Amino acid sequence: MFPQIQWYGSYFTYLMFSLPALLLGLWAQAKVKSAFNKYSKVHNYTGLTGAQVARRLLDSNGLHDVRIEQVSGTLSDHYDPGSKTLRLSPEIYSTPSIAAAGVAAHEAGHAIQDNEHYFPLVLRTALVPTVQLGSWLGPIIFMIGLILSTPIGEKIAIFGLILFALTAVFAIITLPVELNATSRAKAALQTSGFIGFEQMTGINSVLDAAALTYVAAAAQAVSSILYYMFMLMRRNDR
């Protein structure tokens, strides 16, 4: 029979670990929404849509084979290295705004990273299948090991923790990938003439806010791992 589960990781303890990262995430999302709403209403002075900005940046880097497609959703923009496709949401694809130019340039930055075999991007792409498995299977294995009072239970819990920890590794690796793409986007827009110098304030506001969301995601992933480690250590004190 399994022993009765004693929840050492109380709700208060969980909040102690997760609340700072959660608040950071909420703040980051609020900044993204505010910046995007503001600068999606301001046209860039060349009148180029996000799709046109991305196409010109890709072509100027010799990436004529990278396709640009419109996808549904809000801020669902991403670059798919597997199919060499840059996918832009409707408000980015067809809008000639400052926000659209910034987001499109950022995603074009990922395509340029891919072409240059930028190592953090290569590593992140390679981790995707394992992380997808570990993100849902890891916590299940961890909880099974946690409720077992036998020595094998600890080993099972540690295995589940390692699986789930890959999500934190993925989030941390994502940081240089996203920050580098943002840096490339800013530099490209400044030198290309697609955005007036006075409009770079809006580009910086949108892209810096978006970058903060990845910092928050990494903090949330790490805080979850720390909470699981705390639960495991308290189990061993029983």
Catalytic residues: 107
Measuring CA to CA, how many Å separate 210 from each of 24, 32, 207, 214?
13, 6, 5, 7
Which residues neighbour 176 within 8 Å (Cβ) at sequence distance 6 or greater? 120
Query: What b/e string do you get for 125-152 counting C-beta neighbours within 10 Å, with b at 16 or more?
Result: eebeeebeebeeebbebbbebbebeeee
Cα distance between residue 48 and residue 224, in whole Å: 42
- Residue with structure tokens 């697609």? 194
The dihedrals phi and psi of 75, each to the nearest 5 degrees, come to 50, 45
Q: How many CB atoms lie within 10 A of CB 59?
A: 12
Which residues neighbour 66 within 8 Å (Cβ) at sequence distance 6 or greater? 58, 84, 85, 86, 111
CB of 85 within 8 A of CB of 66?
Answer: yes
Structure tokens at 203: 């580009």
Which residues neighbour 153 within 8 Å (Cβ) at sequence distance 6 or greater? 144, 145, 146, 147
